[in-house]
Each structure stands twice: as C-alpha cells, then as structure tokens.
Amino acid sequence: MLTGNREFNEIYEKYKNLVLKVSYIYSGNNYDAAEDITQETFLKLYTGFDDFKREKIPAWLYTVTKNTALNYKKKYGRLVSIDDEENGLENTLVTESVEEDCIEREHTMETEVLSDRILSGLMEKNQRWHDAVLLAYYMDIPQERVAEIMGVKIGVLHSILHRAKVWIRKTYGVEYEEMSRK
C-alpha cells in the first residue's frame, strides 16, 4: 500500500502481518476473508489517521481487526464453499496407508477441537487471558510486542499468561493428557 503519507506507510509495513494473522485466526482460518479484513482495517486507519495518537495505533489495530473478523465470522461463518472443501482435500498429507491417514486426520481434528474449546473457554473466562494467549502462543508474536499491543508492561503480561496457563491446565489438563497418549 503506497500513499503520500510516509508515516502511514511505515505503520502499514510494520503491522500488516500482525493484522493479517489476527484477522485470519478470528475469521475462522479463512485467508481470503483475512485479506479483506486487513484491507478494511487499514482503510479505517487511513481515513482517520490524522486524529489518532500514534502510541495507541497498535492496540487500535488489534481491536478493530478482531472485531471486524468476529463480525465477518458471525455473518459468513456458516457458509462453506466447495472450493474450501476441495482445498482441504488437496492439502491432505499422503501417508503409507488409508488407516494411518484416517487416524492422523482424527487426531488433528481432535487437537483443533480442543484448541478451539480452550480459546472459547478463555474468552468466556477472561478476555485479557484470551488475547494474551492468542497473541503470544498461537500467533508466536514476541512477548514484548504482545505487551505493547495490549498496552501493559511485560511483567503484567507474564502474570496474565501464567494465570491463563494455570486455568487451562486445571480445566483442560485431563483431556490434553488423554489426547497426547493416543
């Protein structure tokens, strides 16, 4: 994205991948939707750019991206296209036997279901825990950057992540252990 505003272009280059990752995750792993959401988010930023405090932009981008993606998922989440189903089949790994392939798919599906349940549970339990875990562990964003995005000090982020992990172990530990044994 090239505009006449050099400062906006720098912010875009710095945060475009983060916005794309957040929109991808919150839109239900839909890459096309994530690209549209990313474009929409930066368009909103561009139209009001002169009114923004520069130090608040990372948190604003995260919040707007997340909300836009959740709205998208709520509106279009139930629609499944034939292309998506075909792409899922094309990306399946080839294994030595049909049985191994079936077992691997089942395990992958169980892992995804448990991950979704954990994230949903975190969202219901504590929004900050959810956001911290999602950014730090699912999206692999460095913790210093996560603290900046969330507007907290690194020590506070560590405390949030620790509390979230304790709650996850307490709530989902047995299921995770059983699934790991399979």
Give per-residue pLDDT as tens, 6-32.
888 888 888 888 888 888 888 877 788
**Span of 28-37, 102-111, 140-149 with lowest mean pLDDT:** 102-111
CATH number belonging to domain 1-76? 1.10.1740.10
Domain coordinates of the chain in residue numbers? Answer: 1-76, 97-182
Of these ranges, 28-32, 68-72, 167-171, the one predicted with the greatest mean pLDDT is: 167-171
Of these ranges, 26-35, 75-84, 158-167, the one predicted with the greatest mean pLDDT is: 158-167
Both structure tokens of 145:
């950057």
Q: What is the pLDDT of residue 154?
A: 94
Q: Looking at residues 93-105, what average pLDDT do you find?
A: 61
> Distance between CA 125 and CA 135 in Å, rounded?
17
The secondary structure of 14-58 as a DSSP string is HHHHHHHHHHHHHTTS-HHHHHHHHHHHHHHHHHTGGGS-GGGHH
Mean pLDDT in the chain? 79
Q: What is the pLDDT of residue 57?
A: 85
> Distance between CA 152 and CA 157 in Å, rounded?
7
Q: What is the pLDDT of residue 48?
A: 84
Q: Does domain 97-182 have CATH number 1.10.10.10?
A: yes
Are 1-76 and 97-182 the same fold in CATH? no
> Does residue 91 carry a pLDDT above 70?
no
Q: What is the pLDDT of residue 180?
A: 59
Q: How many CA atoms lie within 13 A of 71 on its CB side?
A: 10
Nearest CA among 61, 16, 26, 43 for reference residue 151: 61
- Stated pTM of the model: 0.49
Using a 10 angstrom Cβ sphere, with 0-12 exposed, 13-18 middle and 19 or more buried, the burial of residue 122 is: buried
**Span of 46-60, 66-80, 153-167 with lowest mean pLDDT:** 66-80
Task: Answer with the residue of higher pLDDT: 36 or 137.
Answer: 36
